[in-house]
Structure 1
Amino acid sequence: MSTSNISADVEKDAGTQDYTHLTNDTVRTFSWSNISVTVNDRATKQPIDILSNVNGIVEAGEVLALMGPSGSGKTTLLNILAHRAAIPKAIVQQELYVNGKTTDLESFRKLSGYVEQEDALVGSLTVRETLYFAAKLGLPASISASERTSRITSLLQSFGLTHQANTLIGTPLRKGVSGGQKRRVSVASQLITGPKVLFLDEPTSGLDARASWEVMRFVREVAREFKILVIASIHQPSTATFELFDKLMLLSKGKVVYNGPVGDVRGYFGGLGYEMPLYTNPAEFLLHLTNTDFSPDSTSKSSENHLTHLHTAWTHSPAATALAQTLSTPPPSTTHPLTLTPSSASPVTTLLALIHRSFIKSHRDVVAYGIRIAMYLGLAIMMGTVWLRLSPTQANIQAFTNAIFFGGAFMSFMAVAYIPSYLEDLSLYTKERANGLYGPTSFMLANFVIGVPYLFLIAVLFSVVGYWLGNFNPTAQGFWTWVMWLFLDLLAAESLVVLLASLVPVFVVALAATAFANGLWMCVGGFMVQPQALNPFWRYVFHYIDYQGYVFRGMMVNEFGSRNYSCGEGCKCMYASALEEQCVVEGKAVLAQYGYGTGDVGKYVGYMLVIIFAYRMLGWVVLYLRKH
């Protein structure tokens, strides 16, 4: 489906307000008890409680706010409730129930949605296309195209994004929607799939007071009408936004200070002697009350006693006792876990949607392939003009060899330019996998499929310029064989980038690792030092798995396997061959110096395919094993 078709489909049902896909009578309650998280202090090696015995419950149609000062544990709690990893090397105790029963991770991800604090969106898609692909990936095939379109239009209107529907999200090189509008797109893209439990990590971050209120008002309306359970961590909402929440869980130092209706907050803390002044933002008052980091006596006994009083008061309050009774009656069943498996998009539909989305990104975002095409063309012009119209003489044999090494090695090295684009894709995959939309297989296949035509195009464009300017083997077969080797070289180089960037998804580290790996392959490939002279360690450990080495061999055979070179004046041939008496160096004599044979090209191609497959499979393993 083209991008114009996406736009047309979405516009067909403009003005409708249809959220019937969100209706759900299955999930009535989501509860948790005795949640504790402990880590060891780096300095003292003593255990520190990040969370301590946190209990709570949310019923269908309610919106719960998780609040607390920085370091209170609200983000950690949100991640635990969403069945996500909390803190590395932490000891976690948790009891999570849906309708009083446990549920496995896969099922829970299918019935829940999670909006990250950092927006993970494809910058080269429009707002409308972002929602389109969210629906395509998250909704079952039974949902008709017109129904998906209706939901997209409704969400665009409700989130105030109608006028930005055809605006790009934004890339480093192309301005798009504002940061606040990105937050609204992130929330809308989760709601479109009809989650039964929705987690929001700072949903109003980057929004002004009006936009924050509009987003949370819409979330509350949808939650109430279609019985969705919403849990949102929030920092310091305005008074109007704060009052949109049904319940508040207030944390301080990892312990609960209050857990109940928002409307009862003033009375509860007033009863403890903390009167809330009139015309004061309740959220601001509560954060000031529970934050001792900046108090003048934050290290004194009185500060510690203040928090102890708040914690103890809640623990012994009637509301906490009532909550404990609610959680224990009826007792949670662990013998018959609840398994909810809503239908979702088929694997084929998912793969096609990912390929379609990647195709749009690839031709709009110049960072993905546009800059690389320009870089490779520049390299081809430079190479072709440096090694310009080399004549087939003995004096130029080394120049031909140098050009072959340079072309293959630097084509591979410049694959580092793909790292930023891949890391953006990886960030989006991490979010969508955590929400149960698809796994590493679909992601890896789509990534490979969309890259193949662009890498082939790069190989052809580079060869059209560099090959003929350099006057390499002037035959059609020689040209297309050169193209094939460059194509395999690029496939292997990009596969290496995918592996290393998946292993360490940090730009600077991935860049350094890829550059180091390419430097290693250049050294042991067989050009700098011939294979026979390589140190046994480098030869047997790295040389035989060096894809650049096989590219160099293949290109050498392509150039010298069926071409002869004049020995020049005096007929002093540097390479002994059968044609020496004719004052000609047979190209095969050059290959013999490197130990290469013309009959091994098929094996070289096979080794390249194995290496490419191995890189991709290792990348798949890395993504499969990574916990979310």
Structure 2
Amino acid sequence: MSTSQSLDVEKDAGTDYAHLTNESVRSFSWEGITVTVKDRYTKQPLEILSGVNGIVKAGEMLALMGPSGSGKTTLLNVLAHRKASGASVQESLHLNGAVTDLKTFRKLSSFVEQEDALVGSLTVRETLYFAARLALPSSVSKSERIARIEALLAAFGLQKQAETLIGTPIRKGVSGGQKRRVSVASQLITSPKILFLDEPTSGLDSSASFEVMNFVRNIAKQYKILAIASIHQPSTSTFDLFDKLLLLSRGKTVYNGAVRGVRDYFASLGHSMPLYMNPAEYILQLVNTDFSRDQEESDDKLAHLHSSWQRSTKAAAATSEIRSCVSDLSACAVLSDLTHDSANKFLIPLTLIHRSFIKSYRDIVAYGIRIAMYMGLAIMMGTVWLRLDPVQSNINAFTNAIFFGGAFMSFMAVAYIPAYLEDLHLYTKERLNGLYGPTAFMIANFIIGIPYLFIIAFLFSVVSYWLGNFRDSAEGFWVWVMWLFLDLVAAESLVVLLSSLIPIFVVALAATAFANGLWMSVNGFMVQPGTLNVFWRYVFHYIDYQAYVFHGMMVNEFGKRSYACETLPDGSCYCMYPSALQDQCMIDGKAVLSSYGYNTGNVGKYVGYMLAITLGYRLFGWLVLYLRKH
């Protein structure tokens, strides 16, 4: 479908998209943007952006270009009110000549990340649906949301792919170019006045790059959106789609003006472009000094380009345009009238739960593979500890099985890390766009896991409990299920905490594995609590959720069961654990518990400890996300 046809379809859809895109945002300007960081080697201040100015008007599309390390991504983040940690930023940003605060600005703008932070198990239509549910105020009716979704599907040529999955590592979905269009469309759902795009053509071929940027250009022109995109070496056809170019090198401006004036400007400086060469490629080669054989000559050439721009009439005209806009406050709209209402904060967790639920049953990586893993573990455990008789020679085997079941159920929670990191990536993008915060994310993440973790605990127990011949009673079975369920909830909460703290897969995996190894060592099985080293006991044992699981499962097995002693060849009886049943050649299971220092009471207290530890992990995870400045 061609772009013109797509836009005609949009008009036919009867959408109010144009009405909702307020055209009163006439300009976005910035002046004197300077970003300074501390050089990691010299420890001296280092400017990565130096006095950058610029202006974009409604309906225009600006390209931020420059070689690697030129500062274009930093500039894009500053313009989008995304501050880099550890950097000193001097800025003067104005919408219609007026200064805006972060909250207002985020309601007026949207940001398309370089990487597509999309839920792979959702369809294209569902992706836009949930974007609308999260971003649009509750005052927007269901029919209006549907109309807007249909309009965007039509405008971006995605109608035929509407019911196609975005795509997961296991299930193929839409193409790379279509993914980029979905990413842009999902940010346009709120009818933003300013659209930021970070490397929107990254990973796409020239044809797909042109396709994506052409859609953005048409949307910007039709609905008077200000579009600013950092872009790396576009093709000639893609480069010509932009209205303006801001070219950077080493954090300083080399050119800032109309794309159509690029060739003449550089020709006036003695750098004439070859007739049939891609102008974007030529100017990037011109300002890139990284691969120069004569570094001194390249530095001199670059310094000349910087100084030439500063002295040019184009630079003076751009500065004059910016300042005239700032001073002409009569032309400025009241920004509070342009912002849209926020979505209902109380409904956001429900929307996140709904989205996560769809992901959980479609994406087998999230829980399907984990269920298969746990079932394999259950079969292995049940057949290794197969139908153990309640005799004293099997007491150690029962104890080992209890430790193995609880500890390795917890350890295998590391399989949740990839799914959580995907959710965390999406959360980071949506938080930066002002859609919701860590509270809604944590609540939804916790609630959606509860039923699946219970199913895992139940299915594991159905196999392993009865095959192993643990205490034969319904009460014993359900108490076993309860402890494994609490074990999994705590283990998954630990994964959430560590993965939030270190959102790198390999590092999070190593940290979680180490933590589980620590909990296994001090949970009371390897070394009984009474003889455990004082340091490990008081620093770690009492906050070890595996310790309470092991304790509770031991009480469940041995608290209400007796075991036959060994009959010696001379007919006498040998009981390895003395108890009141010794004269009956039996061992009271409570004697086994006593050897560990356990008693049969206080089960409720230990359940409370488990809940407190789980809550602690979740609160610390929430705090990490709350304090992290992205």
* 2:277 is aligned with 1:292: no
Q: Counterpart of 1:165 in 2: which secondary structure? A: coil
CA distance in 2, matches of 1:315, 1:428: 41
> Match for 2:496: what amino acid?
V
The within-5 A match list for 1:378-389 is 378-389=376-387
Query: Displacement of 1:15 after TM fit?
Result: 5.3
Looking at structure 1, the residues matched to 398 and 258 of structure 2 have their Cα atoms a distance apart, in angstroms, of 79
Once the two structures are superposed, the pairs formed by residues 311-326 of structure 1 within 5 Å of their partners are 311-326=306-321
Aligned 8 A contact 2:134 2:348 in 1 = yes
The residue that corresponds to 1:554 in the other structure is: 552
Distance in 1 separating the partners of 2:326 and 2:199: 33
> What is the 5 A alignment of 1:380-419?
380-419=378-417
Which residue matches 2:231?
A: 234
Q: Following the alignment from structure 1 to structure 2, what is the Cα–Cα distance between the partners of residues 21 and 48?
A: 46
- Deviation of the 1:36 alpha carbon: 1.3
Counterpart among 226, 241, 255 of residue 258 in structure 1: 255
Give the 5 Å matches for 1:473-552: 473-552=471-550
319-328 or 475-484, which deviates more: 319-328
Could you list the per-position Cα deviations for residues 454-497 of structure 1 after superposition, in whole angstroms to 9, with x for gaps in the alignment?
00000000000000001111100000000000000000000000
Residues 126-156 of structure 1, C-alpha deviation per residue, up to 9 Å, x if partnerless?
2221111111111112222222222222322
Summarize the Cα distance change of 1:13–1:361 in structure 2 as closer, same or farther, 3 Å threshold. Answer: farther
Q: 4+ runs of 1 displaced by more than 6 Å?
A: 11-14, 336-340
Q: Structure 1's 12 and 568: CA in aligned 2 closer, same or farther, altered over 3 A? A: farther
- Aligned-pair CA distance for 1:333: 12
2:89 corresponds to: 92
Letter of the structure 1 residue corresponding to residue 629 of structure 2: K
Superposed, 1:123-272 pairs within 5 Å as 123-272=120-269
Unaligned runs of 5+ in 2: 1-8
Answer whether contact 2:10 2:150 (CA < 8 A) is retained. Answer: no
Query: Is the Cα–Cα contact under 8 Å of residues 565 and 575 in structure 2 kept in the other structure?
Result: yes
The aligned residue for residue 8 of structure 1 is: none
How far apart in 2 are the matches of 1:596 and 1:46?
Answer: 60
Paired with 2:397 and 2:337, the residues of 1 have a C-alpha distance of: 67
* Offset of residue 609 of structure 1: 0.5
**Inter-partner Cα distance in structure 1 for 2:42 and 2:578:** 73
Q: Which amino acid aligns with 1:486?
A: L
Q: Using the TM superposition, give the Cα deviation of residue 442 of structure 1 relative to its aligned residue in structure 2, in angstroms.
A: 0.8
1:228–1:12 distance in 2 versus 1, CA, 3 Å: closer
Q: Amino acid of the residue matched to residue 142 of structure 1?
A: S
Cα separation, partners in 2 of 1:339 and 1:607, compared to 1, 3 Å: farther
Aligned to 2:612: 610
Give the C-alpha shift of residue 58 in structure 1.
1.4
Q: 1:579 matched to which residue of 2?
A: 581
The within-5 A match list for 1:78-117 is 78-86=76-84, 88-117=85-114
Q: 1:218 aligns to what SS in structure 2?
A: helix
RMSD: 2.2
Instruction: Tell me the distance in 2 between the aligned counterparts of 1:21 and 1:478.
Output: 64
Question: Secondary structure at the residue paired with 1:382?
Answer: helix
> What amino acid is aligned across from residue 612 of structure 2 in structure 1?
V
Query: Contact 1:108/1:340 (CA < 8 Å) preserved in 2?
Result: no
Cα distance in 2 for partners of 1:213, 1:197 equals 21
The aligned residue for residue 595 of structure 1 is 597
2: distance between equivalents of 1:440 and 1:340?
Answer: 27
For the Cα contact (< 8 Å) 1:38–1:91, is it kept in 2?
Answer: yes
Structure 1 residues 289 and 438, CA gap change in structure 2 (3 angstroms):
same
Decide whether the 8 Å contact of 2:180 with 2:212 is kept in 1.
no
Deviation at 1:330, TM superposition (A): 6.2
Shift of 1:402: 0.8
Q: CA deviation at 1:558?
A: 0.6
Q: Residue 578 of structure 2 aligns to a residue in which SS?
A: coil
Alpha carbons 1:13, 1:153 under 8 Å: kept: no
Aligned-residue identity in percent: 71
SS in 2 for 1:367: coil
| Partner Cα distance (1:285, 1:57) in 2 | 24
**1:557-572 alignment runs, 5 A limit:** 557-569=555-567, 570-572=572-574
In 2, are the aligned partners of 1:171 and 1:365 still within 8 Å (CA)?
Answer: yes
Cα separation, 2, equivalents of 1:301 and 1:382: 69
> What is the identity, as a one-letter code, of the residue corresponding to 2:515?
A
Alpha-carbon offset, residue 224 of structure 1? 2.5
Among 611, 618, 625, which residue is 1:623 paired with? 625
What residue identity is the alignment partner of 1:352? L
Partner of 2:299: 304
Cα deviation digits, residues 84-103 of structure 1 (max 9, x gap)? 133x5333222222222322
CA drift at 1:591: 1.0
Question: How many Å separate the matches in 2 of 1:500 and 1:339?
Answer: 42
CA distance in 2, matches of 1:577, 1:127: 67
Could you list the per-position Cα deviations for residues 193-234 of structure 1 after superposition, in whole angstroms to 9, with x for gaps in the alignment?
A: 211211001112233333322322222222223222111011
Q: CA deviation at 1:22?
A: 4.5
CA distance in 2, matches of 1:224, 1:201: 20
Report the CA distance shift for 1:520/1:619 in structure 2 as closer, same or farther (over 3 A): same
- In the alignment, the residues of structure 1 paired with residue 335 and residue 243 of structure 2 have an alpha-carbon distance, to the nearest angstrom, of 29
Counterparts of 1:476 and 1:110, CA distance in 2: 56
Q: Which of 21, 26, 29 is 2:27 aligned to?
A: 29
Residue 469 of structure 2 aligns with an amino acid whose one-letter code is N
Map Cα deviations across residues 56-101 of structure 1 (whole Å, 9 max, x no partner).
Answer: 1112222111111222111111111111133x53332222222223
* Residues 180/222 of structure 1: CA separation in 2 closer, same or farther (3 Å cut): closer
Count of paired positions: 614
The residue identity in structure 1 corresponding to 2:585 is C
Q: Distance in 1 between matches of 2:83 and 2:310?
A: 27
**Matched residue SS, 1:447:** helix
Query: Could you say if the C-alpha distance between residues 232 and 107 of structure 1 is closer, same or farther in structure 2, counting changes exceeding 3 Å?
Result: same
- Unpaired runs of 5+ residues, structure 1, are 1-10
Contact 1:16 1:153 in 2 (8 A): no
**How far is the alpha carbon of 1:28 from its aligned partner?**
2.5
Equivalent runs, 1:1-20 vs 2, <5 Å: 19-20=17-18
The code of the aligned residue for 2:445 comes to: N
Q: CA deviation at 1:27?
A: 2.6
Q: Which moved more, 1:353-362 or 1:265-274?
A: 265-274
2:346 matches 1:360: no
- Change in Cα spacing, 1:338 to 1:35, as seen in structure 2 (3 Å) is farther
- Measured in 2, the distance between the counterparts of 1:340 and 1:89 equals 33
Task: Pick closer, same or farther for the CA change 1:241–1:13 going to 2, 3 Å.
Answer: closer
